Structure 1
Amino acid sequence: MDGLRTRWPNSEVLFASKSLPAVGMYRLAQDEGLSVDIAGGGELRLALAAGVDPGRIHFHGNAKTDAELRMALDAGIDTIIVDNDDEIDRLERLLERPQKLLLRVIPGVDAKTHASQATGGANSKFGLPIDQAERAIARMRSHRLMRFDGVHLHIGSQILGTGQFAEAVEKISAVGTFPTYDVGGGLGVAYTYDEQAPGVDDYLDAIVDAARANLPADARLLIEPGRSMVARAGITLYRATTVKRTGRTFVAVDGGLADQMDIALTQQRYEAILADRLLEPWTETVQLVGRQCESGDLLVDGAAMPPARIGDLVAMAATGAYAYTMSNNYNGALKPAIVFVADGEARLVTRRETYDDLLATHAPAMAAALV
């Protein structure tokens, strides 16, 4: 936050909460002076439950419902990022008082990342191309309750080259001159020993240099870091439950696809260690696998570690972003707890899901069975 403000004083940093939508994280973001970017009614409820000031919440999404927009308007959030003409239709019906709006624009930048994480290319499902954006802007400006404030872009996630961020800023400047430009997030991190990721200073330099060259000097500049803030802050801990040496050596743990879905979705690679035997020689290369009934439930392909034993503590690094977000109940798995650690002190912020929690939404069927 200070790094951006030093470079561009009229600026704001929003935590992209889809990367870790937990009440404890929302509260931490607010305490650290960040605003919050939400992308659905559930994230809005979590943010409000954490005590986040509604005046610091921005609402994204390409398919907001009437109910979600009503929630946001009733809460008095700061900004709605409009994605499409249908959303303008909804706001025309729902608005009863002035509301600040940004418009998401497709910058036409094909980010160098996994296809599922690229959001700024010409075929993106998010936002409007420039010609349609101009018409939508004119429409919002003509409405008595719509306070059109500027444009928003996002080119993707896990991006390891800063040049693409600068390119997006340059392209968005062609839409027009506005009070606010939200240039999104997407800065990648190093997940494995052989990956190289830009530093935060490199990222900010690229963004701000492009803003100085292309945007009004008095414009408000917003960025939305998520992954780059929380990924390396998180570690997932497992227990080894099975060690099997057949054609290959398989070390299976008490988690898997249900709490590391992005491995299957984006082929994201990770590193893992035996945390309680770290100083022993790493003499074996194993397939670290999960307990879900899929051959694709492969956590690490070729993890070097000491010969594993049942009960070993397995740590996967840099899992702070999207692991909890995408956690699910595959094979009846229970969603994990989240523990914050600072200055040697640990505190539980999200408890582990229980089987009673798992059954709660099935109460109608269980009640019917008793009749």
Structure 2
Amino acid sequence: MVIEYNNNGELTMGGTSLKTVAQSFGTPTIVYDETQIRTQMRRFHEAFKKSGLNYNISYASKAFTCLQMVKLVQEEGLELDVVSEGELYTTLEAGFDPQHIHFHGNNKTKHEIQYALESKVGYIVIDSLEEIDLIDRYASDVVNVVIRLNPGVEAHTHEFIQTGQEDSKFGLSIKHGLAIEGVRKVKNSKRLNLKGVHFHVGSQIEGTEAMIETARLVIQWLKENDIEVELINLGGGFSIKYVEGDVSFPIEDGIAEITEAIISIAKETGFPIPEIGIEPGRSIVGEAGITLYEVGTIKTIPNVNKYVSIDGGMSDHIRTSLYDAQYEALLVNRNDQADETVTIAGKLCESGDIIIKDAKLPSTVKRGDYLAILSTGAYHYSMASNYNQMQKPSVFFLKDGKAREVIKRQSLRQLIINDTK
């Protein structure tokens, strides 16, 4: 994605003026570079094609989903993973082939399991021993399942987004025997077919070491226990660049390292390489999205801090409050030098409603200016809430100089549509 200032001093995305977008459609608004989303998907495809292995790429819906996003995923030949009834419903309403949908979740309800079975999803990812009995009970035909393993590997990332460590709510532990018990239960069931295994070590992972280490552990475990599978799903969690110093996962080199390692491990162990799956989400949409805000109150506390408040907040930007995540901000409507350190704050009634703690902005910033917060394409709209009865923002895809609305701004009426009088 190319974000730069044009000759008029206005910030642009792919040549489109973001000032024009903000003035035309209001704020807060999340804007995506559609071409970059497609490019990221194609990069993963090309990297796997070079490996010569059978593979599938499944977009992680939780990062960002809507009807138009699902259609885009389908056009680029990816599969989809969903983790709730709502995500499955959205995917089906978009016309996506259910055979290419994978249903995840550590606590699937009985209704969700029945819905997934009735929809004939490609496979269900089992996350507990009890779930095996539930699926077997409700299935009327043979259903493909994949067992999510807990490999006991700690990835180097924020503790809230680690998922493969021993003490985790996700998966069946290899070390404590739950994984092998799960395999036995599936094989002894009436209607379940063990298609493969799945693991996921965490999110915002910059390197390949944890994934390769886990792949080795899993392949050795499969070999030692004489377990045949059609699929090993490596999960996702590939990193993106939020601020200077962050590393975007090097898709071409990274996938080459992972696939070459798997080929080597398979040769060492004598294990036949099955289909390899991955589930990127953040790495596809994260850097392709930005959020536009309008500046409101500016409050200077002498010798303490300067607060620049915007017309959104933790209702559409929760990651700073949750993870102390860092972001970069740019002034949209003119190209003044960023010569002052400020705190960009939201408008919600929480002291923790902060967008960026130490943001570099021009000292000329004033009410009515527009700000762009970069790399907000993943886990922003999807984690948005109505706290303080805030309306969820609109979302646009930009392509070839044109803005396409993919999600309308939530109306005031919609805030109370389910209320009773």
1:283 to 328, 333, 339: 339
> 2: distance between equivalents of 1:8 and 1:266?
38
- Name the % identity: 36
Match of 2:377 in 1: 320
> 1: distance between equivalents of 2:390 and 2:358?
25
Deviation digits for residues 71-120 of structure 1 (CA, Å, limit 9, x no counterpart): 11111110100011110111121010011110000111101111110000
Higher alpha-carbon deviation: 206-215 or 38-47: 206-215
How does 1:244-283 map onto structure 2 within 5 Å?
Answer: 244-246=299-301, 247-277=304-334, 279-283=335-339
> 2: distance between equivalents of 1:145 and 1:8?
33
1:200 to 228, 251, 260: 251
> 2: distance between equivalents of 1:235 and 1:206?
31
Q: CA deviation at 1:361?
A: 1.5
Deviation digits for residues 287-325 of structure 1 (CA, Å, limit 9, x no counterpart): 111001111111111211212111111000000000011
> 2: distance between equivalents of 1:331 and 1:218?
52
Match of 2:14 in 1: none
1:48 alignment partner AA: L
Q: CA deviation at 1:275?
A: 1.1
Match of 1:115 in 2: 159
Match of 2:136 in 1: 92
> 2: distance between equivalents of 1:68 and 1:44?
9
Q: CA deviation at 1:198?
A: 3.0
> 1: distance between equivalents of 2:178 and 2:305?
55
**Is structure 2 residue 259 aligned with structure 1 residue 213?**
no
Q: CA deviation at 1:281?
A: 1.7
Q: CA deviation at 1:263?
A: 1.2
1:93 alignment partner AA: R
Match of 2:32 in 1: none
1:336 alignment partner AA: P
Match of 1:302 in 2: 358
How does 1:128-277 map onto structure 2 within 5 Å?
Answer: 128-130=172-174, 131-176=177-222, 177-215=228-266, 216-246=271-301, 247-277=304-334
1:206 alignment partner AA: E
Q: CA deviation at 1:206?
A: 2.7
1:97 alignment partner AA: D
- Specify every segment of 5 or more residues in structure 2 that has no aligned partner in the other structure, as ranges: 1-44, 223-227
Secondary structure of 1:295's counterpart equals coil
Higher alpha-carbon deviation: 197-206 or 13-22: 197-206
Q: CA deviation at 1:205?
A: 1.9
Q: CA deviation at 1:25?
A: 1.1
CA contact (8 A) 1:273 1:316 kept: yes
2:213 alignment partner AA: E
> 2: distance between equivalents of 1:168 and 1:262?
27
* Aligned residue-pair number: 363
Match of 2:26 in 1: none
2:206 alignment partner AA: L
> 2: distance between equivalents of 1:358 and 1:203?
44
2:119 to 45, 52, 75: 75
Deviation digits for residues 248-291 of structure 1 (CA, Å, limit 9, x no counterpart): 111100001000111111111000011111x2122222111100
> 2: distance between equivalents of 1:178 and 1:5?
21
2:281 alignment partner AA: G
Q: CA deviation at 1:214?
A: 2.5
Secondary structure of 1:360's counterpart equals coil
> 1: distance between equivalents of 2:265 and 2:86?
36
Higher alpha-carbon deviation: 35-44 or 196-205: 196-205
1:330 alignment partner AA: Y
CA contact (8 A) 2:340 2:361 kept: yes
CA contact (8 A) 1:191 1:318 kept: yes
Q: CA deviation at 1:217?
A: 4.2
Match of 1:58 in 2: 102
**Is structure 2 residue 395 aligned with structure 1 residue 338?**
yes
CA contact (8 A) 1:8 1:208 kept: no
**Is structure 2 residue 79 aligned with structure 1 residue 35?**
yes
Q: CA deviation at 1:235?
A: 0.5
Higher alpha-carbon deviation: 33-42 or 212-221: 212-221
Q: CA deviation at 1:167?
A: 0.9
Q: CA deviation at 1:24?
A: 1.5
> 2: distance between equivalents of 1:83 and 1:8?
30
Q: CA deviation at 1:197?
A: 3.1
CA contact (8 A) 1:54 1:77 kept: yes
TM-score w.r.t. length of structure 2: 0.84
Deviation digits for residues 205-261 of structure 1 (CA, Å, limit 9, x no counterpart): 232122112344441100000000100000000000111112311110000100011
Aligned-pair Cα RMSD in Å: 1.2
CA contact (8 A) 2:241 2:247 kept: yes
CA contact (8 A) 1:101 1:149 kept: yes
Secondary structure of 1:136's counterpart equals helix
> 2: distance between equivalents of 1:84 and 1:194?
38
